[in-house]
Amino acid sequence: MRSTCPTAAALRAEAKLLTMAGLILLGVGFPTTLILAAQALSPEGMSPVLPIAIGAPPIILGYLACHFASQRMVKAKALEAPRR
């Protein structure tokens, strides 16, 4: 099996894709959590655990996607830096 070293351009493309996925997940997770929390606080509200149970997974996955995108950008920058 042959392994290849990733290029800086490939790492940047992966980082861009991960960033977009992370932002979409965060864009879905935060409003969902806020809406469900507002409904849980209403007089005829639902379970207070429901906003956390439904909203936390997309927020966590979005954060992780953005984190790994950042790590790939650091690796791409290190590959482009001139060696001493």
Produce one character per residue of 65-78: b if its CB has 16 or more CB atoms within 10 Å, e if not. bbebbeebbebbee
Tell me what pLDDT residue 45 has. 82
pLDDT (tens place) for every residue of the chain, 84 residues total: 667 888 999 999 999 999 999 999 999 999 999 999 999 998 888 888 999 999 999 999 999 999 999 999 999 999 988 765
* Among candidate residues 33, 27, 22, 39, the one with its CA nearest the CA of residue 55: 33
Q: Which two tokens stand for residue 25?
A: 């997940």
- pTM, full prediction: 0.83
